[in-house]
Chain A
């Protein structure tokens, strides 16, 4: 019960979940349930809560509880998973816990001679990864209690509900605990607990910048009250709650924006009570922050860019060698034209096309039929080079340097291999991964008109 009280204090709004947990595994003298499945969205505190719960429990009764906490992302083989678990539980160092397979693992667990009152808990984070391992791992883990005869409990932590874990061989249903998402008021409550940290951040920033009137500014920071912070959070959540419910994301952004919020106050231009003026000051900043809420950039002062312009900016800032640019353009043309059209587009005397009604009808293109909207088609390296030579005015030799440009473009993810990555004879197929706007931008730089060579626009 002490653990419960302590954690309830530290983690507001998680009373129900905590109670269930305490009832299930909080009593050292009782038998543990075989397995527990914990799920809920990201940022609902599954991992943090559980970790703290274990820490507290271990502190209370040190010798009687053995906890293994393993993240399954790391366990790319089941062997690592087993060895990690064993290391935690038996406290042995790497060498004597070689575990090749599940049988070894169970055997090792059995061999741990222990007093009957010791409890073992294995908690597996990102448990959905267990499904990708050997078929026997997940079912056996869920009935580890039966297999080993220890007082052991396996806790699966995952973002997926239990239904997603069912497999052909069927699993024993574990006890399920759901971590619901925080409501708005709960979020507010949790964020307001972060008051001290936000204050500290401002102090740290001030100390780093070292303005002239550092002491007065520090005093101002000291006078900030919790109500003031809560008011700010109300404003903040009003903007952000619609876009983002992830608690840690909100927390970081709230701290960052709080420094902006405090800026006019620290400068002495706006008083702390003048909420409407403060709002006017912060509104722009919040909007900026909202547009890059998930981007997590370290520099708070990066300017906002909207999406269209970003493509232009990337295309302009992308410094490619001259022939590299032409190769990219050629790749684009090859990707978005059918090879039937090549002759018409690139050969000077290709003969007149006879206009027939059928053709006219076929060419009256609906947007859905435009090649540029359908997506890139693959083309062979030979065709790429042929188009490259066709669109380039000057004569260049087919040298190693030129060919290596193709692989550079692939490395930059501007082109991608569809097939034949290791074939050398020019029949391997590629695809162009950049869009029309990007290519138009690039071709403007070298003074080339792409549209002229796209069958969609002719």
Chain B
């Protein structure tokens, strides 16, 4: 095993949490065997490495891009929501419940089922609200609300504490006075406390500046008497966000809402529910006497798959970044998302993990940056890095393609010669991937909306398809091509020209600003020129060639019957041959139009699909520097498979223990040197649902005890070891002592 020192491979296998970059640093350190305790020195060593700086630069760019995109896509809904909240708190906003005092405005945000992501969304929401209006926001999670008491305590505590933490805006003296009071114990937090706090902090100052006639502190009742007055007295909203509405205990939720509504005359609450399923969840949870106390407004966010597609297409597949995922890795990540959890956050983290894993392979991977940056890096490469480049899989075909002996030797031995060669190679790679991306756009339009979508309709699907297989040879591709060739002229022409225009748009939007753009553009435009010429032929074919085909058809069609009439078939064989010939003749594209279409398609296939949408195997040399394809490592490290790991550990302890004694030649071999637990486990695998303990013990003994003593009493030591192993298996949940049958254990796994 090459990566023995990898920190994620340990005796206890399971899920490993990587908290961002810091653990990457640590893992790097262990690999380099710097076992210093001095963390800062380590860090310097790490951050000094070129691959690390490239990694951070790339990740920062990606992260900020993703964040910008996400905030853009949430923006609309959030904006609506914030406006709603704001309206409800102002005096004019809530006309429809004017003078009805106890109705709390509530917003239900339909967030979709990817719950891990919601907290982030609500954090952004919180920020927005705080930016837009004077408000305190409290995020109340269901785990804090096991009882009404804890719910209220958490809410009040959050409100008061958050306000203390935020910098004092107006009244310094008030603040200090409060601070000493605010050695708040949780148990002291109740609604009364909140009310006092609110009055002290927000109402009194206002009254002091405004009219000092009324004394708000002692009369409870003024507010509810004249609503207009009370509304104008509400400078500061209290927003309560329940991010996981479904998880709340309904009884507590009902009481909680009733309570808020009772205080609504004094404290301007606004509720925000994060509902994962549908609005009906709200109505299921709350009976009428509670819903009558709230005013519900529903907002929808984009669904998670839509968001993911956006991120994939605009960030991860963007030509701006030199880092690419191989088809398999890409598919693997999207697969986790679509099949398991719908968590965008999880996806991004997994992507980040791939990124770390990629750059961590060595300093040579620092070349995976944009073109000029990588040129600068070349001169810093050491001999080792150059060697690692030489070891790349695609390097060999490259060397073999050179037919000058001296140059081969130079490339293999002379570092400076290879360094001279590198820029050209890198350039080829860059251009290859950019062209791939450009023509992916073209191809998506071409085959994305065909009936039944044989190749898939999303860019992501096409991307992974292109990278992993030779497109031309796939049956799906052939099917697409057939559908395309059967299209009517208008459709076909429209499709191709749309594809061209979309691609050109894409180029002008995404490519133009990049390095090496011009080289790409020239290739693309030349290809499109040829394509357009062919397309005009297709257009012309229909109009001009109508008459010739019409005239041609009658001349050919009568010819065949005549000949068939003339010919007397002497045998069945003759007839069969003849028919075969005829069918072949008919298969030939008779009309010019069909010919033109076929030509166009052939051109697309040869010039675009084969050249540019090539699988990785045909990618230019050194593409490994830009493509991450080590799926198995990622899979091992980001997907926890507890049962599989346990099975591995028990079935083949050598895998983890790395000891000399337990090396197994095949997996079901039994050795006396194996740990007792492992022996017992392997024996129990051979049994059915019920395991006879005595038989098991005998088998155990025969494995562990090499002396053949069938008749004798079992050695108490062995029996003890056996008992212990069985108890451990029971503890691990593999067996259970049966109550129905004496001296039998039940297997719990299947």
Which A residues lie at the B interface, using CB under 8 A? 42, 51-52, 54-55, 58, 67, 69, 71, 73-74, 76-77, 80, 83-84, 87-88, 91, 93-94, 125-126, 197, 200-201, 204-205, 246, 248-249, 251-252, 255-256, 294-299, 302, 310, 313-314, 317-324, 382, 386, 396-402, 404-405, 408, 411-414, 424-427
Asked whether A249 lies within 8 Å of B642 as measured between CB atoms, the reply is: no
Contact with B340, one of A255, A313, A318, A405 (Cβ below 8 angstroms): A405
Asked whether B149 lies within 8 Å of A77 as measured between CB atoms, the reply is: yes
What are some 13 contacts across the A-B interface (CB < 8 A)? Answer: A71-B258, A84-B192, A200-B95, A252-B97, A255-B96, A295-B296, A299-B298, A314-B280, A318-B278, A320-B113, A321-B340, A386-B750, A400-B640
Asked whether B193 lies within 8 Å of A94 as measured between CB atoms, the reply is: yes
Contact with B339, one of A55, A71, A255, A322 (Cβ below 8 angstroms): A322
Contact with A323, one of B262, B289, B292, B339 (Cβ below 8 angstroms): B339
The 6 A-B pairs of least Cβ separation, nearest first, read: A298-B297, A400-B640, A401-B340, A71-B262, A425-B733, A204-B95
| B579 close to chain A: CB less than 8 A | no
Instruction: Pick from B216-224, B478-486, B488-496, B509-517 the stretch touching chain A.
Output: B216-224
Known pairs A294-B288, A298-B296, A321-B339; A411 contacts B96 (CB<8 A): no
A398 to B244, CA, bound (A): 27
A296 to B152, CA, bound (A): 25
A382 to B734, CA, bound (A): 12
Asked whether B644 lies within 8 Å of A398 as measured between CB atoms, the reply is: yes
Asked whether A382 lies within 8 Å of B340 as measured between CB atoms, the reply is: no
Contact with B246, one of A255, A405, A411 (Cβ below 8 angstroms): A411
- With both beta carbons as reference points, the residue of chain A lying nearest to B110 in the complex is identified as A317
**Min CB gap A69→B, angstroms:** 7
Secondary structure at the B interface, as helix, strand, loop or mixed, is: helix
A426 to B734, CA, bound (A): 11
Contact with B192, one of A83, A249, A322, A324 (Cβ below 8 angstroms): A83
Known pairs A74-B262, A296-B294, A398-B641; A412 contacts B277 (CB<8 A): yes
Asked whether B100 lies within 8 Å of A411 as measured between CB atoms, the reply is: no
**Min CB gap A435→B, angstroms:** 12
B281 CB contacts on chain A under 8 angstroms = 413
| B396 close to chain A: CB less than 8 A | no
| B737 close to chain A: CB less than 8 A | no
Asked whether B342 lies within 8 Å of A319 as measured between CB atoms, the reply is: yes
Asked whether B341 lies within 8 Å of A400 as measured between CB atoms, the reply is: no
A204 to B95, CA, bound (A): 7
| B15 close to chain A: CB less than 8 A | yes
Asked whether B733 lies within 8 Å of A76 as measured between CB atoms, the reply is: no
B259 CB contacts on chain A under 8 angstroms = 71, 73-74
Contacting A at CB under 8 A, from B277-325, are 277-278, 280-281, 283, 288-289, 291-292, 294-298, 303-305
- With both beta carbons as reference points, the residue of chain B lying nearest to A194 in the complex is identified as B99
Asked whether B342 lies within 8 Å of A321 as measured between CB atoms, the reply is: yes
Contacting A at CB under 8 A, from B378-423, are none
Asked whether A205 lies within 8 Å of B196 as measured between CB atoms, the reply is: no
How many residues on B have C-beta within 8 angstroms of the other chain's C-beta atoms? 74
- With both beta carbons as reference points, the residue of chain B lying nearest to A298 in the complex is identified as B297
- With both beta carbons as reference points, the residue of chain A lying nearest to B250 in the complex is identified as A413
Asked whether A401 lies within 8 Å of B639 as measured between CB atoms, the reply is: yes
Asked whether B98 lies within 8 Å of A200 as measured between CB atoms, the reply is: yes
Among A88, A295, A424, chain B packs the most CB atoms within 10 A around the CB of A295
If A80-B190, A299-B297, A425-B733 are given as contacts, then 10 extra A-B residue pairs at C-beta distance below 8 Å, sorted by A number, are A76-B152, A80-B192, A200-B98, A248-B103, A295-B283, A296-B295, A321-B113, A404-B341, A411-B276, A413-B277
Known pairs A400-B15, A413-B277; A252 contacts B225 (CB<8 A): no
Asked whether A401 lies within 8 Å of B295 as measured between CB atoms, the reply is: no
B733 CB contacts on chain A under 8 angstroms = 424-426
Known pairs A74-B191, A252-B100, A399-B641; A319 contacts B750 (CB<8 A): no
Asked whether B225 lies within 8 Å of A52 as measured between CB atoms, the reply is: yes
Known pairs A204-B95, A319-B112, A412-B113; A251 contacts B100 (CB<8 A): yes
Contact with A76, one of B148, B218, B246, B338 (Cβ below 8 angstroms): B148
Asked whether B100 lies within 8 Å of A88 as measured between CB atoms, the reply is: no
B103 CB contacts on chain A under 8 angstroms = 248
Contact with A310, one of B149, B280, B640 (Cβ below 8 angstroms): B280
A404 to B341, CA, bound (A): 8
**Min CB gap A90→B, angstroms:** 11
Asked whether A401 lies within 8 Å of B296 as measured between CB atoms, the reply is: no
Asked whether B292 lies within 8 Å of A94 as measured between CB atoms, the reply is: no
B246 CB contacts on chain A under 8 angstroms = 411-413
| B84 close to chain A: CB less than 8 A | yes
| B643 close to chain A: CB less than 8 A | yes
- With both beta carbons as reference points, the residue of chain B lying nearest to A55 in the complex is identified as B221
**Min CB gap A416→B, angstroms:** 11
A146 to B244, CA, bound (A): 49
A322 to B97, CA, bound (A): 43
Asked whether B748 lies within 8 Å of A397 as measured between CB atoms, the reply is: no
- With both beta carbons as reference points, the residue of chain A lying nearest to B222 in the complex is identified as A55
A323 CB contacts on chain B under 8 angstroms = 339-340
Asked whether B218 lies within 8 Å of A55 as measured between CB atoms, the reply is: no
Asked whether A400 lies within 8 Å of B292 as measured between CB atoms, the reply is: no
| B147 close to chain A: CB less than 8 A | yes
**Min CB gap A23→B, angstroms:** 22
Known pairs A298-B297, A319-B112; A54 contacts B221 (CB<8 A): yes
| B255 close to chain A: CB less than 8 A | yes
Asked whether A411 lies within 8 Å of B642 as measured between CB atoms, the reply is: no
A205 CB contacts on chain B under 8 angstroms = 95
A319 CB contacts on chain B under 8 angstroms = 112-113, 303-305, 342
A322 to B304, CA, bound (A): 13
Contact with B639, one of A252, A295, A399, A413 (Cβ below 8 angstroms): A399
- With both beta carbons as reference points, the residue of chain B lying nearest to A311 in the complex is identified as B280
B305 CB contacts on chain A under 8 angstroms = 319
**Min CB gap A205→B, angstroms:** 7
A255 to B276, CA, bound (A): 32
A424 CB contacts on chain B under 8 angstroms = 733
A11 to B15, CA, bound (A): 67
A399 to B332, CA, bound (A): 14
Asked whether A294 lies within 8 Å of B291 as measured between CB atoms, the reply is: yes
| B634 close to chain A: CB less than 8 A | no
Among A73, A91, A298, A412, chain B packs the most CB atoms within 10 A around the CB of A298
| B605 close to chain A: CB less than 8 A | no
A115 to B477, CA, bound (A): 97
A397 CB contacts on chain B under 8 angstroms = 639, 641, 644
